[in-house]
Amino acid sequence: MQIDLAALAHNYGVLHGGNAENLAAVVKADAYGLGANEIAAALWAEGCREFFVAQAAEGVQLRRRLPDAHIYVLEGVTTASYATLSAQNLRPVLNSIEQCALWSPSGLPASLQLDSGMARLGLSAAEVLPAVRNHDLDVRVLLSHFARADEVEHDFTELQIQRVISVFTALQQLRPELRLSFSNSAACVSGVALPAGIEQLGRAGIGLYGGSPIAGSRAHDSGLKAVASVFGQVLQLRNLEAGAPVGYGGTYIASAQERIMIVGVGYADGVPRLLSNQGEVFFQGQRCSIRGRVSMDMLHADASKVDVAVGDWVEVIGENICVDDVAAQAQTIPYEVLTGLGKRLHRVYGTDSDMEGYSP
């Protein structure tokens, strides 16, 4: 697995549009499976100073790598995590009245989440102002989350904006330095407009990592580059006769003489099993159809049109077999594909020039 840090930096630039100080990076779930420490360090070098994680343990790990970063913990605070958050200077995203009461004695900065229409974490609009007043919270950021920004110009996006801005402007009377964190990758690339004069801290996730944040499109449509590439090594080549079944269950049967390659990567490495008989791998400028079922450690692919040899590496996900297409074929989203990439994949970090010799 190659992680192209130059492509990551490019995507960060596209998403912040020249204002790096106004865009935080979401590095939860080990930076969507790409390695939070390495990804965050690379983004820090690009000017990113604020990061979001899901859990306190993720924040502790990231704090070791970035001692001066602002790190927000989306799950908020619990009695079990209070001491850790305080000691590690992690900022909880407070999601309930109970969390507000628990964090209040710390006197430390926090964010506050408003549920603007997802029925997920967050306070209701009626709870926000009383919570800040009653618990004297040092709220630096009001956070909410677009539910349908990936569906460009959906009416619900405008409704959410109205709800959030109403609460934000009222809360800003109590906390004049308050910032709003609302826009995700989809909102960044689709140009969702908020009222003028509101300082916003965007939160970029999937767009950073080369997945399309817009439903039904590919990342390159928004000027984003592939960051993660997965390669499998050719373990064996076989010549099939007509009528020969391939793989578990014999779901593919050769209709004529055919040459296939057995590639050493499978669903244990994060290649979705739903790519069986419909996905592709890439080698020498050619897309090679996957034959039969993807198994735990291997897959079969057509080798009839390429000059491939044992030991060669073929692309399974990357610049040519984009993660958006893989997700569509697997009936899921690029988030799930990236976070499902297996830990046994050897990860190589660098730029295109650093990684010469690794790609097929």
Q: Which of 147, 130, 82 has the alpha carbon at shortest distance from 110?
A: 82
Determine contact, residues 285/321, Cβ cutoff 8 Å.
Answer: no
How many Cβ atoms from other residues are within 10 Å of residue 216's Cβ?
11
In DSSP notation, 163-186 reads HHHHHHHHHHHH-TT-EEE---HH
Residue 153, sorted as left (phi over 0), alpha (psi -120 to 50) or beta, turns out to be: left
Look at residue 39 and give its three-state secondary structure.
Answer: helix
Q: Tell me which residues are annotated as active site.
A: 28, 248
Tokens of residue 204, six digits: 């970029």
Q: Which of 297, 304, 224, 295 has the alpha carbon at shortest distance from 256?
A: 304
Q: Which of 98, 97, 118 has the alpha carbon at shortest distance from 163?
A: 118
